[in-house]
Each structure stands twice: as C-alpha cells, then as structure tokens.
Amino acid sequence: MQSARLPRSFCDELDRKIRLFLWGGSNLQRKLHLVSWDLVTKEKEKGGLGLRSMRHLNSAYLMKLGWRLITEPQSLWSRILKEKYGRGQDILTLEAKPSSCSNAWRGIMEAMPLIKKGVGVAIGDGRQTLFWSHRWLDGMVPEEQTHMPIPEDHVRRRVYDYWQPNSGWDWDQLATFLPSPVLNRVASFRLCSEEIGDQVFWHADSSGSFTIKSALQLIRDSNEAAVANWTWVWKLCAPQCIRMFLWLLLHNRLLINAERFRRHLSTNPYCERCQTAVEDLDHLFRRCPVAEEVWRDLQLRGVQLPAGTDSFQRWVHCNLRVPQDDPDWSMKFMVTL
C-alpha cells in the first residue's frame, strides 16, 4: 500500500468489504447502502464519515513516495531510481515514464500530476527553479498563465535567468508571454543576492510539510465544489449512535416510507400511522398526528419549542444549534427524534 501501486481491482475489493461492514451486510446477505460511497469517503467536515477509499489512499502514499524522491535527493534509493528511470532529470518536468519500469516508479509517475499541484517552491536565488514549469509564483505555474506558447529555448530557463542583479526582472522578455496581472505578481518577488538556495515545500498543507490528509484532499478536491461545514454534528454531546442517526437524517437518507417506495420496497409512500400524507421526514418527525402528540406532551411538561413554521432542515438546526432556555434541550431533542 505504501510503496507499491496496488491493482485497482484489489483496492475495490477492500472498499467492498468496508462497505459491507459499515451497513451490516455480508457475502451472503446484502444490506441497503443508504449513503453513496463517494459521500461516505469525504471528510467529516464536508458531510462524510472520513473513511478512506483504498484507491485514493494508495495514490496518496505514492504521492508521499514521490515527495520523498524530491526532498531526499541524496538518499541511496532516490539516486538509484532517478538515475535508472529519470536519467538524472528533474522528475517534476518528466513527461513520460519508461516503457519498462518498476511498480513503484510507475505508481509515482501516475501520481505525478497531483504531486505537481502540491509542490511549491520558496524562491531564494532562483538558480534551482525552472521559471515556467515549477510552482513558485504564489502557488501558480507561470506556463499555465501565458497567452502564447513558450519557445523551446525558454522552456528550461531558470528564475535566475530572467533576473538582472542591477536592474531586476527582464520585463522586455517576460511581458511577451505573461499578462499584466501575472507580471504584477512577479514584481512582488526579489531574488536574494547571496547564494541562498530555493526551498521546496508542500503548499497543499499550511505546515509546509507533506501529510497524507492533504494528499487525499488534493485527490478529492480536484473536481469537488465547496460544501457547508458539518463538524458541528460530530461535536454534539450525544452517543455516537445518535450522531450517526442525525447524520443520516440531515442527509435525508433515513429509510422512511417515501424512501422505501422510491426504492420499490413498498407499495405506497403514505404514512402507516395516519394514512393521510406521504411519509417524508417532515411528516414523520413533525406533522404526523402521532408526532404532534409527542411534541404537545413535551410542551405540557414545560418545554418551550421553537416555532414550527420553518423548513424541516432549519427546524432541526434551530433545535440543535440555537441556544435554548433549557441547557439540555439539544440532547432531549435528539433523543425525542
């Protein structure tokens, strides 16, 4: 897992076993999977359970191997791999892997596009950093910002090659390829006159050091939109089984009768208690006469409930997150649900 590219079929089989355990199924009996695997494997703060896809985890470990290849250039294993397969070139600029190579090198090269997204360079004297292909410009790669192709004789130029010790940046050349906003960013950098080397860091994590968590975020966030923060659900003072119940409820994944009907497990979507309305979440927990009787009973015992005119999701949030006169109300509300 940590040093070899696992077959994708093997990773999928491991994921299948995890899913069976999560939902209580087995090889002989398949239980309903109420939430998609893509959602389950998201971080808890993004609405998931924080479980890790084996494909993603294997790729993250290969990214770590590639990161060590970059940051440990003097280690024996790094020198051997780079000389044998990279022919001594900068691996961040390699375009293709050899037709015949080791499993580890093949895995590193497959993970290289993501490694490139995470690697940043802190500029010192600019002598070790390629101007166009390295990520040194405030997290950007300059060649991705150009408005015309870079000539062949410029591709391998270093940052230092565009710097004049007495006058600064060579604006005549840079203005040919880069738009004004990018030139303004370049202007904010000054190279050190002393021989202070460039430093590679992991810009995908605030610490600057490589972490598996940040690598997984790079893998997942490549096509993922921003979502609301779900951390508060897991910080509620309640048993884990109740928090898990709330997680399913807030994702609208409880197996109520409307959902059973949608999955063709029931002949009609109506509430079995009152037979007057479709049994969705709002009806089951708030509108059904049986549910209303429960809330009325709580009010008779002196419990003040928020107004019930809000949407169901907002009603749940108000009862769980808005301070109430009763400091224990959120726990009572969860148990009542």
Residue 308 has pLDDT above 70, yes or no: no
Query: Where among 174, 197, 220 does a domain terminate?
Result: 197
Same domain assignment for residues 168 and 255: no
Would residue 73 count as lying in a domain? yes
Would residue 30 count as lying in a domain? yes
pLDDT value of residue 258: 92
29-38, 56-65, 101-110, 298-307: least confident range: 298-307
Same domain assignment for residues 106 and 76: yes
- Is the pTM here over 0.85, yes or no? no
Same domain assignment for residues 69 and 95: yes
Would residue 202 count as lying in a domain? no
Same domain assignment for residues 92 and 212: yes
Same domain assignment for residues 112 and 159: no
Residue keyed to tokens 């009010």: 299
Residue 64 has pLDDT above 70, yes or no: yes
Same domain assignment for residues 107 and 246: no
Same domain assignment for residues 85 and 222: yes
Same domain assignment for residues 86 and 140: no
Q: How many domains does the chain have?
A: 3
Same domain assignment for residues 246 and 142: no
Across the chain, mean pLDDT equals 87
| pLDDT confidence bin for 201, thresholds 50/70/90 | very high
Same domain assignment for residues 48 and 21: yes
Same domain assignment for residues 332 and 281: yes
pLDDT value of residue 97: 64
Residue 226 has pLDDT above 70, yes or no: no
Domain holding 160, by residue range, is 124-197
Would residue 255 count as lying in a domain? yes
Same domain assignment for residues 216 and 237: no
